[in-house]
Amino acid sequence: MPNRLAHETSPYLLQHADNPVDWWPWSEEAFMEARRRGVPVHLSVGYSSCHWCHVLARESFEDEAVAASMNAHFVNIKVDREERPDVDAVYMEAVQAATGQGGWPMTVFLTPEGEPFYFGTYFPPEPRHGMPSFRQVLEGVRAAWTDRREEVAEVAGKIVRDLAGRELKFAAVDAPGEDELAQALLGLTREYDAARGGFGRAPKFPPSMVIEFLLRHAARTGSEGALQMAQDTCERMARGGIYDQLGGGFARYSVDREWVVPHFEKMLYDNALLCRVYARLWRATGSELARRVALETADFMVRELGTNEGGFASALDADSDDGTGSGKHVEGAYYVWTPEQLTEVLGEEDARLATQYFGVTEEGTFEEGASVLQLPQHEGVFDAERIESVRERLHGARSRRPAPGRDDKVVAAWNGLAVAALAETGAYFDRPDLVDAAIAAADLLVRLHLDEKARLARTSKDGHVGANAGVLEDYADVAEGFLALASVTGEGVWLEFAGFLLDHVLVRFVDEESGALYDTAVDAEKLIRRPQDPTDNATPSGWSAAAGALLSYAAHTGSEPHRTAAERALGVVKALGPRAPRFIGWGLATAEALLDGPREVAVVGPEGHPGTRELHRTALLGTAPGAVVAVGTADSGELPLLADRPLVGGEPTAYVCRNFTCDAPTTDVDRLRTALGGAPTG
């Protein structure tokens, strides 16, 4: 019989709706039930495409005996971390503080007041590798709660007090300057893997936000080293197994240092960030590989993550049916190939070519003799037409395999990142269909996620908005997407919507005294701690993303409160950037924009005029860090940057300004290109 999760909209929660566990969604009612019964709360946090979350579910949550023990001694709450990043953040901070590590599935035992006292992640069904079994954990926690209640309360109280003492109050008077950004670059150089690209050891995650900083730093300072790190890392990822060589798009991370074997789940946020990074790498260098990867990644998002309502789904699972008829789900089954499978699809001659081109071996690079497809360093020695035929046939054959599951919920923040990526990629490469896809997603966010007070809902699914309030990253990333659309389309409505969201940031998320930012609004549900984290993880932190969007909005409008808020927020980057640059890349990138101005570019001319289009595209292709662009007529009233900007000699004209102090206007494309850093013309 389905449990309470059957009424939820989260695909992850719905996956547990038929468990014998009497699950509750996160709610005050669940904690009231724990108080009524006098039992602790078992909190289980995961997400739909999490491999080990599925393993724990199969091994323990679907076991009748285990479920009976859980139901008898606990109130069990299941949380989708993607729907409730605030709940996840608060308890993950406790897990990491207590154990030195964290991850998902996250297992936390709480008092009925929500105070954590025992932590873990995945627990096996039997004791293994020094880990207790999940049953042993349940029994140990039950015994402690029954026999040592005062000790449990003391531990829980201490943890809550420790968490409260971690609040950040960086009352920064100034943002990072040249010295701090140079120190951050030096720190990245020390951690850079020159032989393989990327930073640190395995597992390796795509360093999207760090690459954005490197590209902006190179554009502002001319640093060849910064550009080389960005370019080499992007090339190694694009040629590795972390990139889908048949269908485009990136997997979550590589389990090895060489980018060969990925964890196969594909997340919207990774692909949105990487699409934008590769498009901007092409903008800086003209790299054909970067161009291809940007477009293939954009097409992947539209094709495989697009929803009927116009938004983008959250993720594709790592696991899929192995195709043997056993019903067994195996990680990577959809993506990997053996030599025999290549021969079956291509015939012997083309299969030999494919094994050489994609690095498929008899022993395999993955598991059970299968290989993850990679790209050779020397593509030119292969016949391009024949390779394209091979790629198309393999892609077609793969599409007939059982596909990975898809998490269909639309997350506001990640859709904001996708809007920005698709708008810019479409503009750079003359792909209006990608701009249209960005507009459709933005329309969905306005239509469904924004209420009449411009408050933002975190998620929706199948056209139904979720109950969870947006957090700081939602407001910031959606504003970022709207600002990108304003620059690409010249439609002032997107600037207006961005302003609505950023006004909420100023009023509801910023500490007036210090300028620090919180991840939840002042009027949000009260947790044991108000979450607050300026460091980047898989996505830009809400703190850094808000600083970036506030700065761009100020450049568009001349708003001093927004610029001041951005500068104050960047104080944390001054403190953390030189010490931990890998984990605050978006903040460093925003600081680069601040140091450069950012530039304000107004392109004034009739819509559809060839001169207007050429100047506009040239402005968008400029590499000046964080530059904002407005296009339209001076009398339109839609975009503040256009006001009082006359044509020169009756021709479309570009104005390049910093802090509303402008250079001489120009009608010459080459002069504009030079003023903005020089962009490729292809």
What is the distance between the alpha carbons of residues 536 and 531, in angstroms, rounded to a whole number? 14
Max Cα separation, the chain? 87
Task: Using DSSP, state whether 613 is helix, strand or coil.
Answer: helix
Q: How much is the pLDDT for 172?
A: 53
Length of the chain in terms of residues written = 682
Residue 393 confidence (pLDDT): 97
Contact 425, 280 (CB under 8 A): no
Residue 604 has a CB neighbour count (10 Å cut-off) of: 27
Q: Measured between alpha carbons, how far is 653 from 605 in angstroms, rounded to an integer?
A: 7
What pLDDT does residue 162 have?
A: 79
Q: How many CA atoms lie within 13 A of 262 on its CB side?
A: 31
Give the type of residue at 321: D
Sign of CA dihedral 519, 522, 528, 530: positive
Distance separating alpha carbons of residues 522 and 220, to the nearest angstrom? 37
- H-run or E-run covering 96: helix 85-99
Query: What does the pLDDT read at residue 540?
Result: 97
| pLDDT recorded at residue 610 | 96
| Block residue for tokens 């192995």 | 322
* CATH of region 181-317+407-596: 1.50.10.10
Per CATH, the number for 599-675 is: 3.40.30
First to last CA, the chain: 61
Tokens of 457: 């809902």
- Residue 611 to residue 629: CA distance in whole angstroms: 16
**SS3 call for 352:** helix
CATH number 3.40.30.10 given to 4-164: yes
Cα–Cα distance, 16 to 293 (Å, whole number): 36
Structure tokens at 24: 């509750």
Peptide linkage before 610 cis (omega within 30 of 0): no
Angstrom distances, CA of residue 327 to CA of 216, 324, 330, 402? 48, 7, 10, 10
- Helix, strand, coil % over all residues of the chain, rounded to 5: 50, 15, 35
Q: Can you give the pLDDT at residue 2?
A: 75
User: How many Å apart are CA 335 and CA 245, to the nearest integer?
Assistant: 10
Residue 166's pLDDT is 67
Where do the structural domains in the chain lie, given as residue ranges? Answer: 4-164, 181-317+407-596, 335-400, 599-675
Closest CA to 103 of 87, 122, 86: 122
Q: Which residues contact 411 (CB under 8 A, 6 or more apart)?
A: 82, 268, 314, 458, 459, 474
Whether 444 contacts 481, CB under 8 Å: no
Q: Do domains 181-317+407-596 and 599-675 have the same CATH topology?
A: no
Q: Which has the closest alpha carbon to 656: 562, 555, 563, 566?
A: 555
**Tokens 């962009």 sit on residue:** 679
The Cα 342–Cα 112 span in angstroms is 56
Euclidean distance between CA atoms 95 and 91, whole angstroms: 6
- Looking at the DSSP assignment, which residues form a beta bridge with residue 517? 510
**Which of 172, 183, 182, 178 lies closest to 571 in space, CA to CA?**
172
Give pLDDT, residue 129.
78
Which residues of the chain, if any, have pLDDT below 50? 171, 678-682
Q: Please, what sign has the CA dihedral across residues 629, 632, 633, 639? A: negative
In Å, how far from its chain's centre is CA 612?
34
